[in-house]
Structure 1
Amino acid sequence: MAKATKKQALGRGLSALLKDPDNDINSAQDKNADKVVGNIVELDIEDIEMNPFQPRTNFNEETLRELASSIRELGVIQPITVRKLAFNKYQLVSGERRFRASKLIGNATIPAYIRIANDQESLEMALVENIQRQDLDPIEIALSYQRLIDEIKLTQEQMSERVGKKRSTIANYLRLLKLDPIIQTGMRDGFISMGHGRAMINIESQVDQLEVYEKIISNKLSVRATEALVKNLNNPTEVKHTSEVNELPKPIKKGIKEFSEYFGHKIDVKLAKNGSGKISIPFHSEEDFNRIIKLVKSAK
């Protein structure tokens, strides 16, 4: 009776084979594994869980709806990739946008490649596949590279082989993570490009980084103009003229440094001859302004 059931399951195709407990496949060595692993199988969406190792965190709702509309008309052209966890249970490895879009339009099934992988292999597959995407921001790519180093213990040379990128390219992305978090957020949100970020990497002080960042935003500086600004900051061609800041008493200079570090911006202080003065705290967005207000309130 069991043999007849197996025959019937094989006759119904790969999807039916996977739903037969007598043919449960948990490793590449199991019977019929070659019929499933590496092949496209139509899986029930409800049998697939999200990947906790997914390196991508930002999903544009508008483009997701556009993809859903395309899937409604043409179907899923490129199958997702999943790994088998247990009988009738799978975990997404790559293709989360296609998966989300398919659920959005109420599809019950989705074409998938089935892999058998452990947690580390699943994470590596998800990270490498994510890096290959064309619509990621530079910080997202840099964070994926960093996770390959921290969690998979890959060297930059090994990563170069895995993702097909030059070692110098990988190093350039990783260096972006040295920038102030505010600048990283600006890059992720599209206020500045990777070229702007690479120019600012050469500024050691994060306070100076933020000052240059604010000038880029307010003056809409190009990458070339930013590079020139950074070059002049790091290698001034002439002795700085005596400014109001240079004439400030030492206690006030020390206070400026402490203020700047606290607010995350280079604070400007102007001192009049009679001893009175003015403190200016710059901000680059409404969100940044609200952040500064919270800092002021918490200092009370």
Structure 2
Amino acid sequence: MSQKKNDRRGLGRGLSALMADVNIASQDSVTEKPARPEQVLPIEKIEPNPDQPRRSFDEKLLQDLANSISEKGIIQPLIVRPSPRKPNTYEIVAGERRWRASQIAQVHDIPVIIRELDDTEVLEVAIIENIQRSDLNPVEEAIGYRQLMDRFGHTQEKVASALSKSRSYIANLLRLLQLPDDVQAMLREGLLSTGHARALITSENPSELAKKVVAEGLSVRETERLVKQGMSEPVKRTLKPSKDADTKAIEGDLSAALGMKTIIDHAQGKENGKLTIQYKSLEQLDELCRILSTTR
């Protein structure tokens, strides 16, 4: 037992092999066959990890994944372990989104890779897998970092190094957990940005100020001024001039032609400006590059 404790000296001990399986099992982009032998289990024999850090799953994204599974099947296996609570049952280590989407798609059998992992390894992999996902909201990400530190004794420096983040990035996210629950809920729902939330941390009444920020659609700069002056004075707002109809029409035409949101910021009274094209995936970026390269 003592030898096992000594083996787990720091973040990442033994995780290279575990996370290799997690990366193999990424349904979103990987299409190669898994490097480890897989098995097929009935879906009713698989249950979620009760300690899964992720609590919210976007219903629309789950439905999109379910549609993909219905059409193409489950391309990559889930990572599971024998359940320590129920005999002949397996607990998800990585891939709960695919498991949920498979239920929506009414899939009966699921490909899996079975690993023998203890509770600590399962939790550590679950936390890191969730942190590495790009669609976590800031509160979920901060909770993941806090769990890594509290449950495994890791420092901010060690977490930052292992996950290729700066220590200040980790520290700033962790500060969000100081906010009241109702403000964290606004941050989870996207009503507040991380910049708004960071500005509210130093406020004596963040809940009331957060409601005002959301109700009035204040920017981060305006929120910072609001925190400094409190609720007593109205916030002086700097409004950008509205765009003319021609600019809006061009934006609409470009967005429709490219299939991507296009924003034109034309310098007032001048002939120069800025064109911004927003892409949602690497596939869209590839398509944009293709379009630009063929129009030379």
1:190 equivalent in alignment to 2:190: yes
Which residue does the alignment assign to 1:269? Answer: none
- Compared CA separation, residues 143 and 218, structure 1 to 2 (3 A): same
- Report how far residue 196 of structure 1 moved: 0.6
Which residue does the alignment assign to 1:63? Answer: 61
TM-score between both structures, scaled by the size of structure 2: 0.61
> How many pairs are equivalent?
198
Q: Name stretches of at least 5 consecutive residues in structure 1 with no aligned partner.
A: 1-27, 29-35, 237-300
Q: Provide the rounded CA distance (Å) in 1 between the counterparts of 2:223 and 2:77.
A: 43
TM-score between both structures, scaled by the size of structure 1: 0.60
Which residue does the alignment assign to 2:209? Answer: 212
Q: Provide the rounded CA distance (Å) in 1 between the counterparts of 2:133 and 2:161.
A: 17
Which residue does the alignment assign to 1:116? Answer: 116
Q: Provide the rounded CA distance (Å) in 2 between the counterparts of 1:135 and 1:183.
A: 19
The aligned amino acid for 1:138 is P
Q: Percent identity?
A: 46
Aligned ranges for residues 271-290 of structure 1 at < 5 Å? none
Q: Deviations over 1:156-176 (max 9, x none)?
A: 122223333222211111100
Structure with the greater alpha carbon radius of gyration: 1
Q: Secondary structure at the match of 1:59?
A: coil
The aligned amino acid for 2:165 is K
Which residue does the alignment assign to 1:3? Answer: none
- Compared CA separation, residues 38 and 89, structure 1 to 2 (3 A): farther
- Cα root mean square deviation, aligned: 2.6
Q: Secondary structure at the match of 2:152?
A: coil
Q: Secondary structure at the match of 1:111?
A: strand
- Report how far residue 231 of structure 1 moved: 4.1
Q: Deviations over 1:255-293 (max 9, x none)?
A: xxxxxxxxxxxxxxxxxxxxxxxxxxxxxxxxxxxxxxx
Q: Provide the rounded CA distance (Å) in 2 between the counterparts of 1:153 and 1:219.
A: 42
CA contact under 8 A between 1:196 and 1:223: conserved in structure 2? Answer: yes
Q: Name stretches of at least 5 consecutive residues in structure 2 with no aligned partner.
A: 1-16, 18-33, 234-296
Aligned ranges for residues 87-166 of structure 1 at < 5 Å? 88-166=88-166
Which residue does the alignment assign to 2:227? Answer: 230
Q: Provide the rounded CA distance (Å) in 1 between the counterparts of 2:218 and 2:189.
A: 17
Q: Provide the rounded CA distance (Å) in 2 between the counterparts of 1:38 and 1:137.
A: 32
Q: Deviations over 1:194-231 (max 9, x none)?
A: 1110111232x2x2x22321221121001122123334
Q: Secondary structure at the match of 1:150?
A: helix
- Report how far residue 72 of structure 1 moved: 0.5
- Compared CA separation, residues 37 and 70, structure 1 to 2 (3 A): closer
- Report how far residue 37 of structure 1 moved: 9.6
